[in-house]
Amino acid sequence: MANTAVKVSSSANHLVYQLTGDGTVVGPTIASATLLNDMVAGPLKAAWTAAFANQAAMRVGLLGGGAACEATIQLAVTVLDVTAERNQVTADVDTDAVTASRAEINISMSDTTGQIAFLKLTHWQSIVE
């Protein structure tokens, strides 16, 4: 079994995945096509549908670097590490393997079987008064 990412919920402004670790450090990767298929129509999907020139632009536009989007991870279950590696989960965007102008998400997890985390992609609505 590999590390997995399973969609938990989706709305116009958020998408949540449950990440489950099997003791493998690398993965899962969530491809752009999967992300867009899991998103409902709205501002979050519009942001992730945009074309980006490179990985740096994707990070700024989608991970909270000044745009209305961000990604957060909540570690829910931590179990004993197999090695001295830290018990953590990270997510980064990268150029998609199929459509290079769109982003995929690369997840790294600790070497702990049974680790569970939640990845939440959010688009923040702004209200100007």
For the chain, what are the domain ranges?
A: 4-123
Distance between CA atoms of residues 82 and 120, nearest Å: 27
The per-residue pLDDT for range 60-98, each reduced to its tens digit, is: 989 876 668 999 999 887 776 566 666 788 899 999 999
The DSSP bridge partners found for residue 97 are none
The pLDDT value recorded for residue 66 is 63
CA 77 from centre of chain = 18
From residue 83, alpha-carbon distances to 22, 86, 112, 113, 116 in Å are 14, 8, 9, 12, 18
Residue 40 DSSP code: P
What is the reported pTM? 0.88
The pLDDT value recorded for residue 84 is 60
- Is 129's pLDDT higher than 50? no
The DSSP bridge partners found for residue 106 are 29, 92
Distance between CA atoms of residues 63 and 58, nearest Å: 8
The pLDDT value recorded for residue 64 is 74
Token pair 């939640």 is found at 118
**CB atoms inside a 10 Å sphere around CB 80:** 8
Q: In the predicted model, what is the mean pLDDT of the chain?
A: 87
The per-residue pLDDT for range 103-124, each reduced to its tens digit, is: 999 998 887 778 899 999 999 8
